[in-house]
A and B are shown apart, each in its own frame.
Chain A
Amino acid sequence: MTTPLPNDGQLGWLMRAAQSGDAAAYVKLLHDLTPRIRRIIARQRGFVGAEEVEDLLQDVLLSLHAVRATYDSSRPFMPWVLAIVRHRLVDGARRYARSSGREVHIDDADVTFSEPATNLQEEEFGDIEALHRALGTLPEGQRRAIELLRLQELSLKEAAAVSGSTVGALKVASHRAMAALKKALGTKGT
């Protein structure tokens, strides 16, 4: 059985709560809205792929968040949302038209030659599941270092601030973790 979609009044109530700083209400509101907005975008931009629909959806959510103070609780909620969606789609189409006018999309070109002998680095993607498993075997400190530095791409300074560790300790943990991962995955080189 599917959960019935909240009506306009309930959504408006959630937005009022979000305006007061209620994060739980905000998460529920955005989760309730997301499928509706995604459907609208997919219908109006039928020619774009699922990834671009998701990009547009996220753009709408960011915009909605940025102007949440403009919602007036005495007015209906969905027309407020739909106006934002409509204008952001128009902005997106305008951006697309501008960029397509000066950009030429080409297939991925080889930087050198496609022959393996001419490429020093192995560029193939490995087995993600194996990487997950290998990450799981790392000690907590090393796994955290990899997550912050390699997956979230934080700088050493930022990662140190987030983890509460030192830059030096993070360097060591990251180095050891990479060595352990290479060993576990059986890869060569750096």
Chain B
Amino acid sequence: MNTDRLIEHLADGLSPVQPLGRPGFRAFIWLCGALPFLAVLALSMMSRADVTPNGTGLGFVGPQVVAVVTGILAAWAAFRSVIPGYSRTTFIWPVVAGMAWIGFLATGTPQGRFETTLAASHEWMCVAIIVLSSGPLLAALWLMLRRGAPLNPGVTAALAALAVSALANVAACVAHPHTNNGVMLIWHGATIAVLVTIAAVTGRLALKWDVRGLSAPATGALP
């Protein structure tokens, strides 16, 4: 098909479009739905007696705050990643926050109790909470992200998974007792890493350029 004819064809079928909001605003909209959802989920599973071992000190609250910041930054970066023309340095911030979260948990991990940490089989419940609560949040995020341009689908999907799982991890931390930060680091960290990896690998399948129905209306015209 001739390029001039393609332009005519695109203009013929032109319909008005609502420009997407700023990435920060869209992230805010998503968080307005995600945070209450996770809060309700955590509160519905929490019993005050169970979560007493968590404490309220910096050792427990600090990593949760950093995890929330990681989730917010990752959502913001994911929304920026589908808008052409933005700098890719944005992607670094959630990674930095994630590293800070790991560092926070690692410094709060008691030495010499690695086996106990690994054997904390009740943590499967936390894994289930993170995975299951991530589903609807990720679906909502995906619906919003697919309206953008899939410039780096793997990166976008990984950021989306990081946003969702970091926040879901906080809900799991708050809802269940954790004897030490090492448990959270190993079990929650591994769950988040697996989800982010799966998203990064499958992102290209989930976020594609949607140019179906836009191409040549008819071919073979005489020159």
Check: A182 CB closer than 8 A to any chain B CB: no
A65 to B13, CA, bound (A): 10
A77's nearest neighbour on chain B, judged by CB, is B85
Q: Which residues of A contact B15 (CB under 8 A)?
A: 21
Q: How far is the CB of A26 from chain B (nearest CB, A)?
A: 5
Please encode chain B, from 180 to 223, with 1 for each CB lying within 8 Å of some chain A CB and 0 for all others. 00000000000000000000000000000111001101111111
- 20 A–B contacts from the bound complex (CB under 8 Å): A23-B11, A26-B11, A27-B8, A27-B11, A30-B11, A34-B3, A63-B211, A66-B209, A66-B210, A66-B214, A69-B20, A72-B22, A80-B85, A82-B85, A87-B151, A128-B223, A132-B222, A151-B220, A152-B218, A152-B220
Chain A contributes a number of interface residues (CB within 8 A of B) equal to 47
The 3 closest A-B pairs by CB, nearest first: A152-B218, A83-B84, A21-B16
Q: Which residues of A contact B1 (CB under 8 A)?
A: 58
Judging by beta carbons under 8 Å apart, are B85 and A27 in contact?
no
A21 to B149, CA, bound (A): 20
Judging by beta carbons under 8 Å apart, are A19 and B19 in contact?
yes
A79's nearest neighbour on chain B, judged by CB, is B85
Please encode chain A, from 62 to 83, with 1 for each CB lying within 8 Å of some chain B CB and 0 for all others. 1101111111110110011111
Please judge, given known A-B contacts A20-B16, A23-B12, A27-B11, whether A54 and B3 are in contact too, CB under 8 Å: yes
Judging by beta carbons under 8 Å apart, are A69 and B222 in contact?
no
Q: Which residues of B contact A152 (CB under 8 A)?
A: 217-221
Across the interface, B221 reaches (CB within 8 A) one of A18, A30, A66, A151, namely: A151
B219's nearest neighbour on chain A, judged by CB, is A153
Q: How far is the CB of A129 from chain B (nearest CB, A)?
A: 10
Q: How far is the CB of A170 from chain B (nearest CB, A)?
A: 16
**B16, B82, B209: residue with the most chain A Cβ atoms closer than 10 Å:** B209
Check: A188 CB closer than 8 A to any chain B CB: no
A85 to B133, CA, bound (A): 37
Across the interface, B10 reaches (CB within 8 A) one of A26, A67, A75, namely: A26
Check: A102 CB closer than 8 A to any chain B CB: no
Judging by beta carbons under 8 Å apart, are B147 and A69 in contact?
yes
Judging by beta carbons under 8 Å apart, are A70 and B83 in contact?
yes
Across the interface, A58 reaches (CB within 8 A) one of B6, B210, B221, namely: B6
Among B3-41, those with CB < 8 Å from A are 3-4, 6-8, 10-12, 14-20, 22
Check: A156 CB closer than 8 A to any chain B CB: no
Judging by beta carbons under 8 Å apart, are B3 and A58 in contact?
yes
Q: How far is the CB of B67 from chain A (nearest CB, A)?
A: 29
B223's nearest neighbour on chain A, judged by CB, is A128
Known: A57-B3, A61-B6, A67-B148. 18 other contacts (CB 8 A): A19-B19, A31-B7, A34-B7, A61-B3, A69-B18, A70-B20, A70-B82, A70-B147, A70-B149, A79-B84, A79-B85, A80-B84, A80-B85, A84-B149, A88-B209, A128-B223, A132-B222, A154-B218
Q: How far is the CB of A81 from chain B (nearest CB, A)?
A: 8
Please encode chain B, from 51 to 63, with 1 for each CB lying within 8 Å of some chain A CB and 0 for all others. 0000000000000
Q: How far is the CB of B182 from chain A (nearest CB, A)?
A: 41
A146 to B211, CA, bound (A): 29
Across the interface, A62 reaches (CB within 8 A) one of B82, B214, B217, namely: B214
Judging by beta carbons under 8 Å apart, are A69 and B19 in contact?
yes
A167 to B146, CA, bound (A): 41
A66 to B215, CA, bound (A): 11
Q: Which residues of B contact A59 (CB under 8 A)?
A: 211
A81 to B11, CA, bound (A): 18
A24 to B211, CA, bound (A): 21
Judging by beta carbons under 8 Å apart, are B17 and A19 in contact?
yes
A73 to B210, CA, bound (A): 22
B5's nearest neighbour on chain A, judged by CB, is A58
